[in-house]
Structure 1
Amino acid sequence: MSDIEFPDTLIALERAAWEELQAGRLTVATANAVQDAITQHAEAAGMSRVEVEMALKKAVRHAEG
């Protein structure tokens, strides 16, 4: 798991996007909301947006039961 601490709101956004994607109904609004939140979190943490996005996806999509 990642060493990055994610706020619950960011986890919830990514989880919603992942569920929409799996159901074949991901909306532009959801995707944009996730990307905006990732960018804000990365900037606040002084990290690369890509690094944050990859870690978030791993945390949500590959969470250990």
Structure 2
Amino acid sequence: MAIELPDDLIALETRAWAEIQAGQLTVDTAAAVHEAVTALAGETGLSRYDVEMELKRAVRHAEG
């Protein structure tokens, strides 16, 4: 399933992923991603889980 992800959400997840890899994920960053994913799910009628999995796939596995 392809979900159209807004650029600002991709940027947030990219920041969160960089923080995770550095061992420095902040509560603020994690909360911002969660809130944005939840908002997009509500706007599109998709499940939050599906939106989050598509986002992680797009950011964390972009090369593969």
TM-score (norm 2): 0.95
Structure 1 residue 49, shift from structure 2 partner: 0.2
Query: 2: distance between equivalents of 1:43 and 1:55?
Result: 15
Aligned residues: 64
The runs of 5 or more residues in structure 2 that have no matched partner are none
The TM-score with structure 1 as length reference comes to 0.94
The answer for unaligned runs of 5 or more in structure 1 is: none
Q: Percent identity of the aligned residues?
A: 62
Computed over aligned residues only, the root mean square deviation of the Cα atoms, in angstroms, reads 1.1
Task: Name the counterpart of 1:46.
Answer: 45
